[in-house]
């Protein structure tokens, strides 16, 4: 009898444990604060009827098109699979980690059982064979411009993108688009023309650029900007000068930031639902060559392989190799050969999208790779990541001050000059100093960063000082030394002298003396920003082989190519490059019948 009671007691206990293990979580909205890539944000998990019905964040400041897209994608995955054990979004790993971490913590608070944490892996939706007129490998700025251009020319298009979203590193660029002789420039009294754009691009590239490609860029940039406007792009009427642009011809989208271009191009793609296919988280592994012609690309997605054929052409628009540390060190024999571009130097681009996949695939089919040593280092990196966050070195009315309190370079110099000057400073770092001239309203979205000063101050990387004395305390420098540095700059800005000892000239319509607070300051470091070398192309965006001949069926556009920028790219020329040669590649491939 006693033994029977013991057995009954054990059975009841096990039943209770089982019931608790399978108990539905408590309904409600659960909020968890997590650390994102840009700033902390709140993950909100809504439970109804014991099920996850929504995972969102209303205060996230993650990058539009990247982190912001990852939050939405992961929310949909978690709701669909009813578990926090889903895969993250390729190309947004830190944001993905934060969302999944917050979701797990919220579910634990709700009393969810282990079924809400089980690992699941989504199956690939890729057919074994896909055929269209044109295949675009890489759905960033150049790739989407190519796809839309090909669609406009009547072709069917398949886009293969290894990230979990479209837009690539264009999503996180500043958005500057260099174009000359525009109505926006004329309205501001700025005289400009394609020849001046050509001359300055050649000068910036140390005359190592391919002149035919530079002429094509300068001659077609303005019409490409107009093309984007015809697709719905809004352009800010205030023309600026991106870091190292050498002239006031940088046009910015409204709202600011590279993602605006991507949003416009995605809307254009949506007009052709019957002629365009998009495969995300699908990596191209090799080009398919048949009878001396490129006819497609082999791909893999979630362990599944397939072949994607383009009957008229294949366009490579896979970006550069700035985040491929081993490869960039191997080819670093150019203007940065004295610098150690190892893993301690960050990259401003999306790491997964800057591995050089496309140029390595092209090399295997005998494509000529040129200018690989032409690597661009940018002075606007954030310590620890290399990402270009918060206040920018672009524009005017900003000071480069080292840790001694001294200016050390002409702030309007080309990017290679600026970055080399930073490398020569104590600790290879500097303070970027701006004031109310750049941010007259802390709650207004900035043209260059696409964010408000209020948000930047909240995150802590930017600090505010009401007086010069307060600024010196933040920077831990002698206030008199700092005052002397700023006054040297101001004498030029007030046109008391034509230039200073660094060569700075106040030749921009925005130039003003920096005389009073509030001041805004942040530490900056050099970062890998662009790789100017890559696949050799002609003005038809056709890929050229090592014998100087066109490789039939193969086109390339954007950062994967070489020859446009030479040894140093001018700020604002990259987006123009993507759009000009992307459009050309799409049109040429579509008409290659």
Q: Are strands 304-316 and 550-556 parallel, antiparallel or unpaired?
A: parallel
Specify whether 505 is catalytic.
no
Closest by CA position to 137, among listed 299, 2, 302, 4: 299
- CA-based end-to-end distance of the chain: 90
Helix, strand and coil in the chain, % to nearest 5: 35, 25, 45
Specify which residues 284 forms β-bridges with. Answer: 299
- Catalytic residue, chosen from 77, 104, 415, 451, is 415
User: Encoding tokens for residue 527?
Assistant: 């970062």
Measure Cα distances from 207 to 190, 214, 565, 581 in Å: 25, 10, 9, 20
Q: Are strands 534-536 and 561-562 parallel, antiparallel or unpaired?
A: parallel
Q: Are strands 157-160 and 276-279 parallel, antiparallel or unpaired?
A: parallel
d(CA 185, CA 379): 27
Q: Are strands 375-381 and 129-137 parallel, antiparallel or unpaired?
A: unpaired
d(CA 40, CA 51): 26
Q: What is the DSSP string of 514-531?
A: --SS-EEEEEEEEEEEEE
Residue 123 DSSP symbol: P
Q: Are strands 399-401 and 550-556 parallel, antiparallel or unpaired?
A: unpaired
* 248 close to 509: Cβ distance less than 8 angstroms: yes
Buried-exposed string 508-536: b where 16+ CB fall within 10 A, e elsewhere? beebebbeebbbbbbbbbbbbbbbbbbbb
Strand extents, DSSP E, 363-493 = 369-370, 375-381, 399-401, 430-435, 463-465
Phi, psi at 459, each rounded to 5°:
-80, -20
Which residues does the annotation mark as catalytic?
415
């Amino acid at each position: 009898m006693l033994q029977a009671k013991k057995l009954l007691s054990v059975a009841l206990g096990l039943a209770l444990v089982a019931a608790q293990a399978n108990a539905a979580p408590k309904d409600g909205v659960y909020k968890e604060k997590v650390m994102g890539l840009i700033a902390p944000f709140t993950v909100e998990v809504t439970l109804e009827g014991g099920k996850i019905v929504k995972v969102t964040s209303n205060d996230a400041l993650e990058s539009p098109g990247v982190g912001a897209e990852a939050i939405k994608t992961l929310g949909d995955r978690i709701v669909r699979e009813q578990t926090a054990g889903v895969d993250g979004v390729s190309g947004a790993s830190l944001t993905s980690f934060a969302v999944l971490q917050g979701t797990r913590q919220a579910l634990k608070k709700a009393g969810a059982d282990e079924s809400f944490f089980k690992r699941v892996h989504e199956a690939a939706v890729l057919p074994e064979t896909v055929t269209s007129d044109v295949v675009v490998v890489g759905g960033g700025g150049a790739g989407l411009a190519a796809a839309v251009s090909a669609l406009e020319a009547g072709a069917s298009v398949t886009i293969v993108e290894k990230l979990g979203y479209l837009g690539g590193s264009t999503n996180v660029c500043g958005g500057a688009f260099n174009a000359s002789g525009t109505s926006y420039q004329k309205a501001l009294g700025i005289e400009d023309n394609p020849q001046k754009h050509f001359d300055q691009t050649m000068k910036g590239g140390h005359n190592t650029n391919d002149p035919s490609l530079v002429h094509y860029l300068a001659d077609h940039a303005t019409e490409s900007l107009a093309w984007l406007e015809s697709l719905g792009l809004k352009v800010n009427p205030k023309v600026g000068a991106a870091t190292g642009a050498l002239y006031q011809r940088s046009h910015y989208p409204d709202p600011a930031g590279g993602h605006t271009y991507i949003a416009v191009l995605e809307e254009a793609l949506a007009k052709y639902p019957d002629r365009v296919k998009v495969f995300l988280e699908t990596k191209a592994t090799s080009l398919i060559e048949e009878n001396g012609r490129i006819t497609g690309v082999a791909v893999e997605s979630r362990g599944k392989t397939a072949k994607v054929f383009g009957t008229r052409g294949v366009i490579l628009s896979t970006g550069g190799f700035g985040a491929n540390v081993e490869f960039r060190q191997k080819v670093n024999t150019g203007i940065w050969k004295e610098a150690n571009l190892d893993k301690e130097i960050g990259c401003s681009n999306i790491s997964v999208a800057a591995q050089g996949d496309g140029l390595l695939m092209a090399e295997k089919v005998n494509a000529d790779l040129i200018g690989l040593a032409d690597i661009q280092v940018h002075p606007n990196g954030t310590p620890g990541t290399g990402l270009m966050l918060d206040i920018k070195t672009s524009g005017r009315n900003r000071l480069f001050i080292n840790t001694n309190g001294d200016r050390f370079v002409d702030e309007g110099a080309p990017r290679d000059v600026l970055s080399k000057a930073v490398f020569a400073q104590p600790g290879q770092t500097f303070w970027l100093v701006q004031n109310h001239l750049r941010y007259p309203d802390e709650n207004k979205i900035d043209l260059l960063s696409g964010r408000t000063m209020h948000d930047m101050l909240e995150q802590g990387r930017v600090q505010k000082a009401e007086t010069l004395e307060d600024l010196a305390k933040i920077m831990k420098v002698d206030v008199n030394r700092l005052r002397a540095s700023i006054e040297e700059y101001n004498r030029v800005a007030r046109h008391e002298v034509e230039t200073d000892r660094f060569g700075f000239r106040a030749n921009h319509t925005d130039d003003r003396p920096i005389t009073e607070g509030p001041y805004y300051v942040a530490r900056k470091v050099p970062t890998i920003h662009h790789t100017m070398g890559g696949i050799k192309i002609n003005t038809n965006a056709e890929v050229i082989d090592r014998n100087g001949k066109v490789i039939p069926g193969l086109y390339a556009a954007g950062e994967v190519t070489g020859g446009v920028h030479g040894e140093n790219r001018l700020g604002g020329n990259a987006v123009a490059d993507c759009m000009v040669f992307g459009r050309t590649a799409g049109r040429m491939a579509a008409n290659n019948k």
